[in-house]
Amino acid sequence: MNSKATDVIVVGAGIVGAACAYQLSRDKLSVRIFDDPVGAVTTAAGMGHLVAMDDSEQQLILTHYSQLLWQALVEEFPAAFSFERTGTIWVAANEQEFQDVQRKQAFYADHGIASSVLTAAELANAEPHLRPGLAGGLLVPCDSVVYPPEVASFLLCKAREFGAAFLGARVSSIGNGSVHLSDGSAFHAQVIINAAGPTATKLTPGLDLLLRKGHLVITDRYPGTVHHQVVELGYLKSAHTFADDSVAFNVQPRSTGQILIGSSRQTGVGDGRVDSPMVARMLRRAFEFMPILSRLSVIRVWTGVRVATPDKIPLIGPWEKDSTVYLAVGHEGLGITTSLVTARLISDLLLGRNPAIPVEPYLPSRPSKAGVLV
Ligand SMILES: Cc1cc2nc3c(=O)[nH]c(=O)nc-3n(C[C@H](O)[C@H](O)[C@H](O)COP(=O)(O)OP(=O)(O)OC[C@H]3O[C@@H](n4cnc5c(N)ncnc54)[C@H](O)[C@@H]3O)c2cc1C
């Protein structure tokens, strides 16, 4: 790529756009990034669980590679943002789910991810506030937790240090190497990255994306109550199905001592309103697994909108209908985890580098965006 004019314009400075601006400017491309207001959308609502997720092989490869990139980022900038190595405990509620733990461990092991099976007693020892009678679990130590808006802001700052220009403006259209703002001005670049999250389809009409509203609840400070990110095995079913609204037990200990409680999914819902019956259902599920939560004070409830593709794999790379437009959208509930790998793959594509993982399963031009799930 010749870097005399602006090489790349990134639209959107959520964590995905910020990661793209960081990686590309670091790789010596000239970059402009547009957003207004910054960080106010899904990234500000996310849970920040950096998780190796195994809904499909493509997803596991992508999330695990991104975890390695997070590890490298933290080693390079050790005190730049909070990064808690909480690990994840996947909880098996009954014997049938416990069988699934063995399958999950084998799948992780096939991809070089270490994990250990916990008996019921070991589970109770690791998380004493889980209810008695659970069958066991799987501890995945490589998973960790960040505070998403903090990291997005760090990546944007670093991008600017590497020379990226940030412009606080709303983009009204993109295409054919141009970006137009609502005041009529235009900017040109060889490549424009659409990282606009839930509004990506306004800029690139025709993308097959679904909105999925989620709620989160945060408690007051109760340090030492929860030690790991603790998720029920049924979470994958909740994330996987588009058919119905769903909830799953998913709690995260914050470094402040607060406990973040999730999660819910309402497919086809993109408004930001707090839906009280859904919050009640989500909390009932959490209390079933961890009864102590029902006695804690909640200080805030909020929503965010995940953006999903039919096969739950993000769209990363050139759009079939305009090769000047690259897509960085559709990360559903994994966009914090996979922000860094998205940026790296796009940079590899633009610079003609060999990516560390095959990029084909993530390209917008992949043959089938459904039916790849294991
Ligand atoms: C409840 C919930 C929990 C989650 N938990 C996790 C988790 O634990 N782990 C995980 O990995 N992921 C999680 N996610 C998913 C994750 O938050 C998202 O995938 C991620 O934040 C998407 O980031 P983004 O940069 O693509 O989008 P956004 O953060 O939405 O950023 C898009 C940006 O584009 C800007 N923009 C849009 N249109 C324009 C325009 N026309 N001009 C200029 N700028 C524009 C917006 O202002 C915004 O800043 C969760 C999501 C939710 C809702």
pLDDT of residue 7: 96
User: What distance in angstroms lies between residue 40's CA and the mean position of ligand 1's atoms?
Assistant: 9
Ligand 1 pocket member 302 (CB < 6 A): no
Ligand 1 pocket member 43 (CB < 6 A): yes
Mean pLDDT of 205-210: 94
325 with 192: CB under 8 angstroms?
Answer: yes
* 25-83 pLDDT per residue, tens: 999 999 999 999 776 689 999 999 999 999 999 999 999 999 999 999 999 999 999 99
pLDDT of residue 115: 98
pLDDT above 70 for 368: no
pLDDT above 50 for 372: no
Give the whole-angstrom CA distance, residue 76 versus residue 68: 12
Q: What percent of the chain has pLDDT over 90?
A: 91
Instruction: Please give the number of the atom of ligand 1 that sits closest to the Cα of 12.
Output: 34
11, 306, 313, 341: residue to mutate for ligand 1 pocket, most atoms within 8 A of CB: 306
Instruction: Please give the number of the atom of ligand 1 that sits closest to the Cα of 215.
Output: 1
pLDDT of residue 373: 36
Using DSSP's 3-state secondary structure scheme, residue 261 falls into strand
The string of DSSP codes covering 263-316 is EEEEETB------HHHHHHHHHHHHHH-GGGGGSPEEEEEEEEEEE-TTS--EE
Instruction: Please give the number of the atom of ligand 1 that sits closest to the Cα of 306.
Output: 53
Mean pLDDT of 138-153: 97
The mean predicted confidence, pLDDT, of the chain is 94
Q: Model pTM?
A: 0.96
pLDDT above 70 for 374: no
Ligand 1 pocket member 158 (CB < 6 A): no
pLDDT of residue 3: 40
Using DSSP's 3-state secondary structure scheme, residue 23 falls into helix
pLDDT of residue 1: 57
Mean pLDDT of 220-244: 89
Lowest mean pLDDT among 161-170, 238-247, 271-280: 238-247
The string of DSSP codes covering 89-120 is EEEE-SHHHHHHHHHHHHHHHHTT---EEE-H
pLDDT above 80 for 153: yes
Ligand 1 pocket member 335 (CB < 6 A): yes
Confidence of residue 369 (pLDDT cuts 50, 70, 90): low
pLDDT above 50 for 4: no
pLDDT of residue 2: 43
